[in-house]
Chains A and B, each alone.
Chain A
Amino acid sequence: MPKTYKNPVYPYRRPPELDLNETRHCPVVIIGAGPSGLAAAIDLAQQGIESVVLDDNNTVSVGSRAICFAKRTLEILDRLGCAQPMVDKGVTWQHGRVFFQEREVYDFNLLPEEGHRMPAFINLQQYYFEEYLVDRADALSDRIDLRWKHKVVEIDSRPERSEVLVTTEDGDYRLTCDYLLVADGANSKIRDMLGLESKGQIFQDHFLIADVVMKADFPTERWFWFDPPFHPGQSVLLHKQPDNVWRIDFQLGWDADPEEEKKEENIRPRVQAMLGEDVEFELEWASVYTFRCRKMDDFIHNRVFFMGDAAHQVSPFGARGANGALQSTENLAWKLARVLRGQAPTALLETYDIERQHGAAENILNSTRATDFITPKSHISRVFRDTTLELAESYPFARSLVNSGRLSKPCRYDGSPLNGEVGEGFPLELRPGSPAKDAPVHLAGRDAWLLNQLGDRFVLLLDGRVDSARAETLKSELEPLLARRDDLDLVTVGPTPHALTELPRSTQLEDAENLIGERYGLAAGAGYLIRPDQHVTARWNQVTAKAVDEALECALGTHLAIPRRETPRDNQGDRHATA
């Protein structure tokens, strides 16, 4: 049990439904108060949607699991109002070393791009991550009914609604809901109850996680060993977490006995050999795991939506589990909010599956590639792996092939049916489907960040540095559009003529370091339409109200066909390796 962290115990409350005669109906019920469930509840609450969150436990993650949170995740959390405590507590690092056998073959510095509010990534124990999410959810308790020690034991899923039977220490009760969001983890019971599967590959390997507290200073760097003398034939990762806790990840091989390996007397000599004879440490937490890369063929079943590890699971290399999960919840939240508010057809929800299948496949591909590099599956792949590492010591080109996990990058929804015009002469990196990029801005004379001006609603980001005649035209076009579309706000990059400053729900900012201009390729009169999840949906060299209106319709899915829920999708997945 960790000594540097005491798990909070959240209060169980007797549900009012036990004293009601009829079954209560809710718009949204969420199963699981882990990273996905909490993030979804917070996102929905910020967009005006109430939810009931049910968790069978009463605390956060016991022991550390996910530790590495990427920039895009922090940006999502910043929109959700809880990134700051995570960044404050987390360890920011950018330096790493790669070792092969006895030698260090190279080191690297990630040198993140300047002019972003969030760091490239932080290391933070999952229990802190969840605790800060719970704090934020509690602050939104008028819309989030968070229920600890409420366990779902039965589910009835129908095309129009779902019903759950919940058990508590005071008795059982039922809830019905329009939408049921399931985030009960990799071994999802709800998925099993519905007879659904997550399919993919189990890797024939065991890994030992040892979290140790160091007595002395150790550099804040990521160290990765291939075939080290203290653990021959395997790989080892060392990574720093807050509270002077170090994560050590030992590959054990398939023949290892998990129970034996978990014993402190077996872990100690291994860690000691790695850190050196005189380094003092305390063992904080240890567990042995195997991992899987798998996903469901369809994240939607009737009106049940699967999120996080329940929907898609990856190997830990590259930190794509929790990071991928947060991208999924934010993809779903804004769509669900608009369907529930009657602003979009239910067909919009289908694009959660389309866009996030794309994201999950990308994450699984990347994490599988890293796994195959770390644990070669044949003699010849081992020869190539070892040769790559040897060459990496002298030749920079080979370093690009060394794969100890590609750090999570935000997914681009290329080919999404919600994407609109690509525009000409704009940067490829911000094509429709891409997450918006941050930049420093001046807002009412103060320093601020662009991303903090986007999200939760649609935003037209307009380069307002136009002449007054053009400003008058834009004003007369945009005024009725903004009046009709109350889900659309305007953010203009100025200085802008007076006419454009008088529009409702509009913010004027200045491009403090000319990085919006550079990153977005903006010029006078050009603009981007940004979705509520901060992804670009369309862009134009010359904004017109008509084009924005059409792109909005497209992003809300009004052109999409009625959902295909009635016909089950054919399951032609790779069955022989079904996990």
Chain B
Amino acid sequence: MPRLELDPNFTDPDAFYAALTEVHRERSETQSERINARLILLLANHVGDQQVLEEALAIAGQATESTPAQDQPAQQQQR
């Protein structure tokens, strides 16, 4: 039984997405990489529970099994 929340849980999804994009605006790739690392560590500590974190890591890790979107646009259809 997964404990990672996979249903919508944001208080304001659009605002979050805008803020996430905003924090990376006009940053170099190196800076963005560090911002992402900081974000992951901050949020991971907030979640805390190892089982939940491992579930998130497992889903995140599946990204390595398919190639990036630009190579296979046909398979990246939005529903």
Contact = CB atoms under 8 A, between A and B. Distances in A.
Interface string A394-414: 010110010000000000000
Nearest to B45: A397
A387 interface: yes
A401 B41 contact: yes
B34 interface: yes
A384 B37 contact: yes
B54 interface: no
B41 A391 contact: yes
A383 B45 contact: no
Interface residues of B, number: 8
B38 interface: yes
Contacts of A401: 41
A388 interface: yes
Tell me whether chain B's interface is mostly helix, strand or loop, or mixed. Answer: helix
Contacts of A397: 45
Contacts of A384: 37, 40-41
A380 B38 CA distance: 12
B41 A388 contact: yes
Interface string A137-171: 00000000000000000000000000000000000
Interface in B19-46: 33-34, 37-38, 40-42, 45
A401 B33 CA distance: 19
Contact of B33 (A383, A391, A395, A398): A383
B63 to A, nearest CB: 13
A391 B40 CA distance: 12
Interface in A359-401: 380, 383-384, 386-388, 390-391, 395, 397-398, 401
A398 B41 contact: yes
Nearest to A383: B37
A386 B37 CA distance: 9
A382 to B, nearest CB: 10
A17 B41 CA distance: 66
B38 A387 contact: yes
A387 B45 contact: no
Interface in B27-74: 33-34, 37-38, 40-42, 45
Task: With a 10 A CB-CB cut-off, give which of A387, A398, A401 has the most chain B CB atoms.
Answer: A387
A539 B40 CA distance: 44
B21 to A, nearest CB: 20
B64 to A, nearest CB: 12
Contacts of B40: 384
Contacts of B41: 384, 387-388, 391, 398, 401
Contacts of A398: 41, 45
Contacts of A383: 33-34, 37
Nearest to A379: B33
Given A384-B37, A387-B38, 8 more contacts: A380-B33, A383-B33, A387-B34, A387-B37, A387-B41, A390-B38, A398-B45, A401-B41
Interface of A: 380, 383-384, 386-388, 390-391, 395, 397-398, 401
19 contacts: A380-B33, A383-B33, A383-B34, A384-B37, A384-B40, A384-B41, A386-B34, A387-B37, A387-B38, A387-B41, A388-B41, A391-B38, A391-B41, A391-B42, A395-B42, A397-B45, A398-B41, A398-B45, A401-B41
